[in-house]
């Protein structure tokens, strides 16, 4: 093991840092990279297949690097010049046929990241987990919780953990997924319709991650992150339909039917809903201690962000048509 690099608290706040992101090529990663590069930091986004990410629009000051992140030696080499590492790899479902993907991505990979950090001398580690990690009965939350426990037991690294609620923003897998469903079906049977959640904007999560980078007061702490309001899943799906200008019948399903939906839909390609998702939704995804307050971030609402990327409502489109016609008449 090589000596740890200088403690990040001793670096000037205006000093550019080299940051390596594991899992940074996804939806949230793009926002995090943008937040870091706006502050002048240099980002390396690791990807096993960078050719498949060639259409990924990286901000100036960021690059893609090929790396098998499950290979400890390869990861150690990728961390060689890093001042800090951001761990944000995660999956929502695993193979229904005896897969062990949650364990591999949420637990084993985090252990490998910790080992690679120590082997390469990187001291600063930021980990993006999930709200309710370690709670409930789902494999998703159980493995997320074990990864957090592993990090909390780590004494040699300066770690900070973020636990966001459902994350939304352009390219998300939440509102966009329901939008796709609502576009082709007039009636949508909705599982776990009463589940409560507190959607948080990806840009706000990224801003918190970037603000924590060189803040020693965040070392060893966890921060729950949520938006400004709590909704039921039913309310969010109906909001999606309204935003799209669609009149749809969204039918809440009893838990027994929701369970059955999870069993059968989990077998479909892409698993739009699974039994493990059902189990996760049995625990409300809300926080009473919003960590965005610590970072002095005023959370963006779904109403102020989602319409811009899902499309305007029918009423807004009609207003737009009227305004365009008026300009032509002038």
- Note the pLDDT tens digit of each residue in 291-311: 999 999 999 999 999 999 997
Per the prediction, the chain carries an average pLDDT of 90
Share of the chain above pLDDT 70, in %: 88
Q: Is the pLDDT of residue 130 over 70?
A: yes
Average pLDDT over residues 300-324: 70
Q: pLDDT band at 316, cuts 50/70/90? A: very low
Taking the C-alpha atoms of residue 49 and residue 59, their distance in angstroms, rounded to an integer, is 19
Neighbouring-strand partners of residue 190: 252
Q: pLDDT band at 324, cuts 50/70/90? A: very low
Which domains does the chain possess? 8-172+199-228+286-300 (3.40.50.720)
Average pLDDT over residues 266-278: 88
Average pLDDT over residues 122-129: 98
Average pLDDT over residues 163-169: 98
Q: What is the pLDDT of residue 136?
A: 94
Q: What is the pLDDT of residue 5?
A: 65
Q: Is the pLDDT of residue 36 over 70?
A: yes
Q: What is the pLDDT of residue 267?
A: 85
Q: Angle at Cα 316 formed by Cα 313 and Cα 318, nearest 5°?
A: 110
More confident residue, 315 or 101: 101
Q: Could you tell me which of 178, 221, 170 has the C-alpha nearest to residue 197? A: 178
Q: pLDDT band at 15, cuts 50/70/90? A: confident
Q: pLDDT band at 122, cuts 50/70/90? A: very high
Average pLDDT over residues 198-212: 98
Q: What is the residue whose two structure tokens read 């300066």? A: 158
């Amino acid at each position: 093991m090589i000596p740890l690099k200088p403690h990040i608290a001793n670096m000037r706040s205006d000093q550019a840092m080299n940051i390596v992101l594991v899992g940074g090529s996804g939806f949230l990663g793009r926002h995090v990279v943008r937040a870091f590069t706006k502050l002048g930091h240099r980002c390396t986004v690791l990807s096993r297949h960078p050719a498949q990410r060639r259409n990924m629009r990286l901000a100036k000051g960021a690059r893609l690097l090929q790396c098998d992140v499950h290979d400890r030696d390869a990861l150690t080499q990728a961390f060689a010049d890093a001042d800090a590492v951001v761990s944000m790899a995660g999956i929502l479902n695993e193979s229904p046929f005896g897969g062990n993907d949650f364990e591999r991505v949420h637990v084993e990979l985090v252990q490998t990241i910790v080992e690679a950090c120590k082997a390469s001398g990187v001291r600063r580690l930021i980990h993006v987990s999930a709200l309710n990690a370690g709670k409930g009965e789902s494999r998703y939350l159980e493995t997320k919780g074990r990864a957090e426990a592993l990090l909390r037991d780590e004494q040699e690294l300066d770690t900070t953990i973020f636990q966001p609620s459902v994350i939304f923003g352009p390219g998300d897998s939440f509102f966009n997924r329901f939008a796709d469903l609502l576009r082709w079906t007039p009636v949508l049977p909705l599982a776990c319709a009463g589940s409560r959640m507190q959607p948080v904007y990806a840009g706000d999560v990224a801003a918190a991650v970037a603000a924590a980078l060189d803040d020693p007061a965040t070392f060893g702490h966890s921060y729950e992150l949520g938006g400004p309001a709590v909704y039921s899943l039913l309310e969010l799906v109906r909001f999606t339909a309204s935003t799209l200008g669609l009149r749809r019948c969204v039918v809440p399903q009893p838990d027994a039917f929701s369970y059955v939906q999870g069993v059968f839909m989990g077998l479909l390609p892409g698993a739009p809903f699974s039994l493990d998702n059902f189990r996760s939704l049995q625990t409300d995804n809300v926080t009473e201690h919003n960590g965005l307050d610590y970072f002095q971030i005023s959370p963006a609402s779904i109403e102020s962000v989602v319409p811009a990327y899902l499309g305007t409502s029918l009423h807004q489109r009609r207003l737009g048509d009227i305004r365009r016609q008026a300009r032509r008449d002038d």
